[in-house]
């Protein structure tokens, strides 16, 4: 049995060399080819000078190349750092600098974005362009740009020998941070494999399964799609980013690719359920539909269950810091069901508990507590953020004698009569939108950085389809010389698309507390007025 | 205002405020660039239906009809 994430591919390549590992639009790649291509990339990275433990960036749209990229990095003993392909240059530059990334894998369309995010003193030395270069490789400042198509011609096909161990970091996933910059969750091979093995067995995945992959590489749900499938020797059908916006295309993807295992945020499934002619498609190949990241509105779930009655449905719960931790089967939604689904019980090999304000474990319905996760899946912390790490990864309050770390989720839960955990809310100002977690403070920091903004507050407006819509309320430092477009353009230069406010409201003066901070308790009046347009 | 100008205005003032260039290239791929996301798409369809008094069917909601300004103009013209 392998102890490193990429060994899952090597093992399946030995067992099922000719089986389809990945399908993307008109392209497919067998397990033997995936093994060979990723080996070649890892040799090339080693030749470039990548060393064990180094953080190599991936700035690519969802494709076969992005998967080969991740595997090639792992096989070189390095850590992959996926960076949203649509992220603004400023954010890209921040992540590259933060991780000390010397090598970045990308496509030629992304070069202008990278150049814009490049600042003096950037650690970036080499850019590997996966889809080839139209012109001769150029460079900017001291960065070398390499054409992978040329490099691969002479690269070795066998697996490189790198002395990696399961405690080494496999990937770092950047997620919203409350103080204005994203924070990188560090996950080791062991963290990830512990989850992958548990999920593989729990959902009885086989080589005959065909997975959808609609979650981007920088989103932790992609780990399930890719590595659980690779462990089983199953096929991953990569759904193009553009198709994911169109219900008709989603239905066609499921039908023509005979997808058996679907995994996405509920909003993608809600979108599918809004398609009126869904019953014209044969979606009976689906046997397992997993959703995670936010609440699934029951009316859409109900509609899907009417159209795809034979599939099983499972509500998954977990945070990037601990991988998916609990699950709740919801195969037959009772007609009288209202409100939200429970997040359920721990998956195998997970210990999950909730502590109330006095530190007492919640063991019966009626009391509320903060959820903690104890498992080998729990991350090593946040990259380069010792203080944030210390606050979230704490000694086990129930067993101080074990001298171990558990993850403190910040999620408040209670137990229902059946012993399932039910999500109640957050201890802080984190919200979910389209399944992404967003620290309101990060958006507010960007707004307040605008030279003409005196103070700003972000109000989440609950939305059935996407969880929350984001409304910014801004107090200007000088009388109204700027409009909402000016503010939003500034946000777009700093924030990823999913964190962009949908609307900006102006306010003469925001209520503040005695310490000068915005008084959230007095914002309820604004809330009413703020989203009428 | 032409159909193209009308749609451009909807995009700039309602759907992709601050995301698109101030003058949108009629051939620019707005889906690939992430200027129109799934929620933006739903809002856009709503605006198109109201502005031009047309009804867009589910089958017409495909990437080919929403890729760029010109493809949206074609879609609207088919209904007028």
Tell whether A482 and A519 lie within a shared domain.
yes
Nearest-Cα distance to chain B for A87, in Å, is 10
> Last residue of a domain, which of A409, A426, A443?
A426
Number of domains observed in the structure of chain A:
3
pLDDT tens for each residue of A422-443? 999 999 989 999 889 999 999 9
What pLDDT score does A532 carry? 38
Tell whether A291 and A256 lie within a shared domain.
yes
pLDDT tens for each residue of A7-33? 999 999 999 999 999 999 999 999 999
Tell whether A468 and A327 lie within a shared domain.
no
| Most confidently modeled range among A222-231, A292-301, A418-427 | A222-231
Does A257 fall in a domain?
yes
H/E run at residue A173: strand A169-175
pLDDT tens for each residue of A152-174? 999 999 999 999 999 999 999 99
Does A196 fall in a domain?
no
Partner-chain contact A466 B63, CB within 8 Å? no
Tell whether A265 and A355 lie within a shared domain.
yes
What pLDDT score does A531 carry? 45
pLDDT tens for each residue of B55-68? 999 999 999 999 99
Q: Which of B33, B38, B59 sits opposite A245 (nearest CB)?
A: B38
The single-letter DSSP state of residue A12 is H
> Last residue of a domain, which of A426, A451, A485?
A426
Partner-chain contact B62 A249, CB within 8 Å? yes
> Last residue of a domain, which of A426, A456, A484?
A426
pLDDT tens for each residue of A40-52? 999 999 999 999 9
Q: Which of B18, B31, B61 sits opposite A248 (nearest CB)?
A: B61
Residue A515: give the domain boundaries: 430-529
Residue B17 has pLDDT above 90, yes or no: no
What pLDDT score does A139 carry? 67
CA distance A164 to A166: 7
A453-A456-A461 Cα angle (round to 5)? 140
Does A490 fall in a domain?
yes
What pLDDT score does B77 carry? 96
Q: Which of B34, B41, B62 sits opposite A497 (nearest CB)?
A: B34
Beta strands A103-106 and A55-59, pairing class: parallel
Does A409 fall in a domain?
yes
Is B41 in CB contact (< 8 Å) with chain A? Answer: yes
Tell whether A409 and A503 lie within a shared domain.
no
pTM as predicted: 0.93
More confident residue, B68 or A484: B68
Is B14 in CB contact (< 8 Å) with chain A? Answer: no
| Beta-carbon pairs below 8 A across chains A and B | 60
Query: What does the pLDDT average to over A275-295?
Result: 94
Query: What does the pLDDT average to over A380-406?
Result: 96
Nearest-Cα distance to chain B for A114, in Å, is 15
Does A74 fall in a domain?
yes
Is B23 in CB contact (< 8 Å) with chain A? Answer: no
Residue A236 has pLDDT above 90, yes or no: yes
What pLDDT score does A480 carry? 60
Query: B47 to each of A242, A374, A500, B15, B50, how far by Cα in Å?
Result: 21, 49, 20, 9, 5
Check which CATH number belongs to the domain holding A388 and give it. 3.40.50.12780
Query: A294 to each of A242, A341, B40, how far by Cα in Å?
Result: 22, 10, 20
Partner-chain contact B58 A276, CB within 8 Å? yes
Q: Which of B12, B37, B58 sits opposite A497 (nearest CB)?
A: B37
Nearest-Cα distance to chain A for B14, in Å, is 9
Q: Which of A241, A275, A484 sits opposite B17 (nearest CB)?
A: A484
Tell whether A440 and A309 lie within a shared domain.
no
- Residue for token digits 């392209």? A27
Check which CATH number belongs to the domain holding A455 and give it. 3.30.300.30
ipTM strictly over 0.90? yes
- Residue for token digits 């990429």? A6
Tell whether A339 and A449 lie within a shared domain.
no
Does A316 fall in a domain?
yes
- Residue for token digits 């031009």? B52
Tell whether A407 and A439 lie within a shared domain.
no
| CB distance A504 to A496 below 8 Å | no
Nearest in space to A93 (alpha carbons), one of A143, A146, A147: A143
Residue A530 has pLDDT above 60, yes or no: no
**What b-and-e string marks burial along A237-252, b requiring 16 or more CB atoms within 10 Å of the CB?**
bbbbbbbbbbbbbbbe
A290-A236-A195 Cα angle (round to 5)? 55
CA distance A406 to A201: 24
Tell whether A463 and A420 lie within a shared domain.
no
Nearest CA in chain A to B35: A497
Q: Which pairs count as long-range contacts for A482-489, CB under 8 Å and 24+ apart, including other chains?
A: A482/A452, A484/B17, A484/B18, A485/B12, A485/B13, A485/B17, A485/B18, A486/A452, A486/B18, A487/A447, A487/A450, A487/A453, A487/B18, A488/B17, A488/B18, A488/B19, A489/B18
Residues in A touching B61 (Cβ below 8 Å): 246-248
Is B34 in CB contact (< 8 Å) with chain A? Answer: yes
Q: How many CB atoms lie within 10 A of CB A303?
A: 18
Nearest CA in chain B to A274: B58
CA distance A280 to A38: 40
Domains in chain B (CATH in brackets) are 3-79 (1.10.1200.10)
| CB distance A171 to A185 below 8 Å | no
Residue A528 has pLDDT above 80, yes or no: no
pLDDT band at A239 (very low <50, low <70, confident <90, very high): very high
Partner-chain contact B59 A248, CB within 8 Å? yes
Residues in B touching A250 (Cβ below 8 Å): none
Query: What does the pLDDT average to over A254-282?
Result: 94
Does A421 fall in a domain?
yes
Tell whether A320 and A402 lie within a shared domain.
yes
Tell whether A297 and A401 lie within a shared domain.
yes
* Three-state SS annotation for A20-43: EEEEECCEEEEHHHHHHHHHHHHH
| CB distance A407 to A392 below 8 Å | yes
Tell whether A47 and A156 lie within a shared domain.
yes
| CB distance B8 to B44 below 8 Å | no
Nearest-Cα distance to chain B for A314, in Å, is 24
Is B59 in CB contact (< 8 Å) with chain A? Answer: yes
pLDDT band at A318 (very low <50, low <70, confident <90, very high): very high
What pLDDT score does A141 carry? 67
* A interface residues, B as partner, C-beta within 8 Å: 86, 241-249, 267-268, 271, 275-277, 434, 465-466, 484-492, 497, 500
Q: Which of A245, A488, A497 sits opposite B41 (nearest CB)?
A: A245
Check which CATH number belongs to the domain holding A126 and give it. 3.40.50.980
Nearest CA in chain B to A250: B62
Is B32 in CB contact (< 8 Å) with chain A? Answer: yes
Does A382 fall in a domain?
yes
Question: Hey, of B15, B18, B65, which one would you mutate to test binding to chain A, going by the most A CBs within 10 A of its CB?
Answer: B18
């Amino acid at each position: 049995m392998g102890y490193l994430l990429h060994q899952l591919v090597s093992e399946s390549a030995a067992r099922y060399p000719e089986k389809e590992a990945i399908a993307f639009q008109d392209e497919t790649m067998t397990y033997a080819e995936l093994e060979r291509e990723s080996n070649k990339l890892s040799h090339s990275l080693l030749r470039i000078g990548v060393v064990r433990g180094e953080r190599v960036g991936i700035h690519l749209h969802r494709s076969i190349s992005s998967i080969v990229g991740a595997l090639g990095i792992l096989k070189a003993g390095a850590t992959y750092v996926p960076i949203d392909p649509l992220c603004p240059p400023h954010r890209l530059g921040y992540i590259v600098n933060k991780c000390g990334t010397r090598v970045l894998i990308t496509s030629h369309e992304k070069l202008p974005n990278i150049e814009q995010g490049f600042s003096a003193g950037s650690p970036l030395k080499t850019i590997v362009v996966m889809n080839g270069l139209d012109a001769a490789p150029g460079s900017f400042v001291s960065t070398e740009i390499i054409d992978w198509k040329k490099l691969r011609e002479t690269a070795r096909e066998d697996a490189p020998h790198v002395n990696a161990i399961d405690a080494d970091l496999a990937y770092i996933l950047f997620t919203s941070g409350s103080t204005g910059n994203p924070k990188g969750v560090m996950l080791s091979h062991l963290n990830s494999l512990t989850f992958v093995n548990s999920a593989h067995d729990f959902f009885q995945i086989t080589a005959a399964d065909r997975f959808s992959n609609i979650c981007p590489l920088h989103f932790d749900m992609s780990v399930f799609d890719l590595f659980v499938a690779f462990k089983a020797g199953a096929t991953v059908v990569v759904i193009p980013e553009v198709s994911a916006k169109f219900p008709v295309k989603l239905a066609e993807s499921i039908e023509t690719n005979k997808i058996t295992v679907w995994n996405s945020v509920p909003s993608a499934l809600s979108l599918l359920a809004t398609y009126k002619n869904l019953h014209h498609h044969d979606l009976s190949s689906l046997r397992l539909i997993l959703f995670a990241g936010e609440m699934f509105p029951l009316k859409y779930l109900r509609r899907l269950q009417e159209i795809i009655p034979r599939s099983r449905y499972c509500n998954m719960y977990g945070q990037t810091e601990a991988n998916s931790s609990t699950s709740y089967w919801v195969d037959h939604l009772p007609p009288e069901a209202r409100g939200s689904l429970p997040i359920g019980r721990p998956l195998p090999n997970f210990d999950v508990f909730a502590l109330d304000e006095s530190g007492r474990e919640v063991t019966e319905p009626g009391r509320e507590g903060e959820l903690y996760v104890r498992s080998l899946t729990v991350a090593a912390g946040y990259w380069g953020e010792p203080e944030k790490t210390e606050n979230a990864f704490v000694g086990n309050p129930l067993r101080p004698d074990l001298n171990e770390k558990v993850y403190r989720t910040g999620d408040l839960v209670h137990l229902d009569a059946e012993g399932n955990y039910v999500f109640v809310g957050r201890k802080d100002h984190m919200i979910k939108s389209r399944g992404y977690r967003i620290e309101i403070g990060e958006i507010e920091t960007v707004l307040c950085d605008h030279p003409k903004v005196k103070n700003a507050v972000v109000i989440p407006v609950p939305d059935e389809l996407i969880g929350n819509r984001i409304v910014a309320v801004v107090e200007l430092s000088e009388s109204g010389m700027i409009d909402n477009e000016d503010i939003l353009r500034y946000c777009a230069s700093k924030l990823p698309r999913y964190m962009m406010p949908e609307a900006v409201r102006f306010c003469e003066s925001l209520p503040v507390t005695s310490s000068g901070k915005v008084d959230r308790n007095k914002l309820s009046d604004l809330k009413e007025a703020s989203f009428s347009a | 205002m032409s159909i193209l100008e009308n749609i451009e205005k909807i995009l700039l003032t309602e759907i992709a405020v601050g995301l698109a260039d101030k003058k949108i290239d009629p051939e620019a791929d707005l889906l690939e660039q992430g200027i129109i996301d799934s929620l933006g798409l739903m809002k856009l369809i709503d605006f198109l239906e109201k502005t031009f008094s047309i009804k867009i069917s589910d089958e017409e909601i495909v990437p080919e009809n929403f890729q760029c300004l010109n493809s949206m103009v074609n879609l609207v013209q088919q209904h007028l």
